[in-house]
């Protein structure tokens, strides 16, 4: 998978999104389309981003009964995105169904989008997980458990925080993707994120990919912020 930091394009519409991307010139990016943008613009935003040469993570976090997820994934596979996701809490049968849908929908001659599951949102603390989801295990144990059932279902990896990534690599294997949001350069505001880490900590923990939104999208100089985060993530000098 493309190793560039994945930029979360959490914008309200296409115009704002494209104006933002124009600031990056010809840089080939890995971008993430979330619910806000997709629910406004629909599939056309994916093809426009692909036409601009970007890799696309479509982050809709599917979580429904297996039949519904399978049929939805069949449609998403036809949109040309590179990476999609589901909520691991939907269960292993739902995750298997997601893969079946993706395989059925992938046009002949193309590779199916990678599929990862969200374990515990990076905006969730251990205390909140235990009191609201009534999970008595630790947050780390819950993430590992979800990672294990996701791998058994055939998924390509998980979304987790940097804090759990090394444990997943050692217990599940390094070929299994760990895609980590909650990335904050030193001193940046955490906002609603609870399990945060710097790009350097992400690199040192061996995560596969980082997802970065507001530290880039709300910056006065987005391309410069992206460049610095990428440098720190790759281990170069800022």
Ligand X SMILES: O=C(O)c1cc(=O)[nH]c(=O)n1[C@@H]1O[C@H](COP(=O)(O)O)[C@@H](O)[C@H]1O
Residues that bind ligand X (CB under 6 A): 8, 10, 34, 59, 61, 85, 118, 121-122, 159, 181-182, 191, 193, 211-214
Q: Which is nearer to ligand X, 97 or 216 (CB)?
A: 216
Nearest distance, CB of residue 67 and ligand X, angstroms: 23
Would you list which residues are annotated within the binding site for substrate? 10, 32, 59-68, 122, 184, 193, 213-214
Chain centre distance of CA 187: 23
Active site annotation includes 156:
no
Nearest distance, CB of residue 47 and ligand X, angstroms: 21
Nearest residue to ligand X, using CB?
213
Active site annotation includes 64:
yes
Nearest distance, CB of residue 197 and ligand X, angstroms: 11
Catalytic residue among 14, 50, 64, 74: 64
Catalytic residue among 14, 50, 61, 74: 61
Would you list which residues are annotated within the binding site? 10, 32, 59-68, 122, 184, 193, 213-214
Catalytic residue among 55, 59, 82, 156: 59
Nearest distance, CB of residue 131 and ligand X, angstroms: 19
Q: Which is nearer to ligand X, 104 or 223 (CB)?
A: 223
Q: Which is nearer to ligand X, 8 or 162 (CB)?
A: 8
Specify whether the CB–CB gap between 81 and 56 falls below 8 A: yes
Q: Which is nearer to ligand X, 104 or 141 (CB)?
A: 141
Number of Cβ within a 10 Å radius of residue 232? 22
Catalytic sites, residue numbers: 59, 61, 64
């Amino acid at each position: 998978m493309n190793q560039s930091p994945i930029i979360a394009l959490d914008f309200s519409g296409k115009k704002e999104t494209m104006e933002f991307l124009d600031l990056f010139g010809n840089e080939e990016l890995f971008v993430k389309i979330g619910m806000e943008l997709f629910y406004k613009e629909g599939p056309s935003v994916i093809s426009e981003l692909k036409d601009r040469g970007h890799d696309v993570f479509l982050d809709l976090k599917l979580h429904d009964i297996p039949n519904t997820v399978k049929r939805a994934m069949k449609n998403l596979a036809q949109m040309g995105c590179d990476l999609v996701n589901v909520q691991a809490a939907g269960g292993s049968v739902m995750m298997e169904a997601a893969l079946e849908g993706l395989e059925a929908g992938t046009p002949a001659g193309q590779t199916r989008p990678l599929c990862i599951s969200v374990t515990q949102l990076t905006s969730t603390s251990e205390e909140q997980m235990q009191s609201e989801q009534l999970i008595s295990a630790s947050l780390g144990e819950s993430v590992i458990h979800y990672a294990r059932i996701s791998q058994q279902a055939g998924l390509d990896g998980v979304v987790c925080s940097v804090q759990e990534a090394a444990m997943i690599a050692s217990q599940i294997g390094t070929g299994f993707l760990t895609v980590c949001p909650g990335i904050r350069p030193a001193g940046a505001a955490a906002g609603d994120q609870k399990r945060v880490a710097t790009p350097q900590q992400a690199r040192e923990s061996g995560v596969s990919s980082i997802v970065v939104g507001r530290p880039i999208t709300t910056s006065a100089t987005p391309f410069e912020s992206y460049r610095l985060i990428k440098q720190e993530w790759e281990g170069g000098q800022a």
